[in-house]
Amino acid sequence: MNENFDVVVIGGGAAGLSGAVALARSRRSVLVVDSGDQRNASAAAVHNFLTRDGAPPAEILRLGRSEVTRYGGRVETGRVTALRREGGGFMVEMGDRAVAARRLLIATGLRDELPDVPGLKARWGIDVLHCPYCHGWEIRDRRIGVLATGPLAAHQALLFRQLSPYVMLLQHTGPPLTDEQRAQLGAVGVPVIDGVVAEVQADASGLTGVRLANSTSVPLDALVVSPRMVARAELLASFGLDTADVRIGEHTVGNQIGADATGATAVPGVWVAGNLGSVQAQVITSAAAGLAAGAAINADLVAEDAGRAMETIADRSRRALRNDGFGQNGEAASQTGKFG
């Protein structure tokens, strides 16, 4: 089995698979290593993905893997434990096994660090949500609570108010609202509920509401939160690539790896795509980022291959010049002596 690849892609979500398809279609040898813990695994469906709206995340991955293998790429379930440079390329370690790669595409995504409220994590991706574009239509006209943990809560409440007239802001641990924020919320009919949320409540039918610290129950059908989005960038630490905080105003919403528009990092030969390089990327934009990275990696390899071909021709020319043009092993010199 060939263990040397043009590109190893680490992370088999939309970004990694899209990059792998672009590379495989360019006849590059590609290995995708996927640990199987996608960020959106608990969600029922992917939305705002043109022609795939409403498809389960697992179906998107199944189709993506099929496309990679259709064009000759390989997809393996596994976990990369370390990355290191070797020669002009990289070694990708997976436990006691290692494979070689000329280039790396890292698409390991991010982790959502959720507010520490009992009962919240169990409903994450089901009826505890964060994005109006990913899940808003599905909870339209329902009772929606927005859990304030930072200064963006009022903005979230306004976004979800577009989808339902029954939106309320749960002040929880969020900072005090400004006069302008209170005026905006009041103008569109979003009440503000003071008090810390002590528990998220649910039954067999789903989320039923929240209980405040003063024992007041607030009936709800969905709860909106702002997770802290943390890049899964541990593998890149060995290359000296650090994450950068992403801020909205003075509030840190997460971190990501710095890269250019194609996903190229400060380390030659290493690209990133998807949420690892952009905390705000949704599934369709992650797929687009994977394509951009795959195309850029292929162009980089094309340039390297052309350079090597030119070096080979130059080496042949130099070897030929070491001869006199009539033969090898001094044949030309002996002929000159014979007839000169």
Span 212-266, pLDDT tens digits:
999 999 999 999 999 999 999 999 999 999 999 999 877 889 999 999 999 999 9
Please tell me the total count of domains within the chain: 2
pLDDT of residue 338: 45
Does some domain include residue 310? no
Domain check: are 254 and 294 in the same one?
Answer: yes
pLDDT of residue 325: 57
Report d(CA 301, CA 77) in Å as an integer: 26
pLDDT of residue 2: 59
Examine the fold and report which residue of 199, 224, 249 is the final residue of a domain before the chain moves on: 224
Domain check: are 32 and 159 in the same one?
Answer: no
Domain check: are 105 and 243 in the same one?
Answer: yes
- CB contact at 8 A, 190 and 183: no
Residue 92's nearest CA partner among 33, 38, 35 is: 33
Does some domain include residue 149? yes
CATH code, domain carrying 13:
3.50.50.60
Does some domain include residue 249? yes
Residue 71's nearest CA partner among 294, 269, 264, 293 is: 294
pLDDT of residue 206: 96
Domain check: are 188 and 239 in the same one?
Answer: no
Domain check: are 89 and 120 in the same one?
Answer: no
Examine the fold and report which residue of 224, 249, 278 is the final residue of a domain before the chain moves on: 224
pLDDT of residue 248: 82
Does some domain include residue 324? no
Amino acid (1-letter code) at residue 13: G
Q: What is the DSSP string of 120-146?
A: TGGGBTTTEE--HHHHTGGGTTS-EEE
Domain check: are 209 and 274 in the same one?
Answer: no
- CB contact at 8 A, 279 and 273: no
Q: Which domain holds residue 162?
A: 115-224
Domain check: are 236 and 92 in the same one?
Answer: yes
Residue 153's nearest CA partner among 117, 212, 193 is: 193
Domain check: are 87 and 127 in the same one?
Answer: no
Give the DSSP H or E segment for 10.
Answer: strand 4-10
pTM of the model: 0.90
pLDDT of residue 249: 78
Examine the fold and report which residue of 209, 224, 239 is the final residue of a domain before the chain moves on: 224
Instruction: Write out residues in the chain with pLDDT < 50, as ranges.
Output: 330-340
Phi, psi of 192 (to 5 degrees): -110, 125
Report d(CA 108, CA 252) in Å as an integer: 21
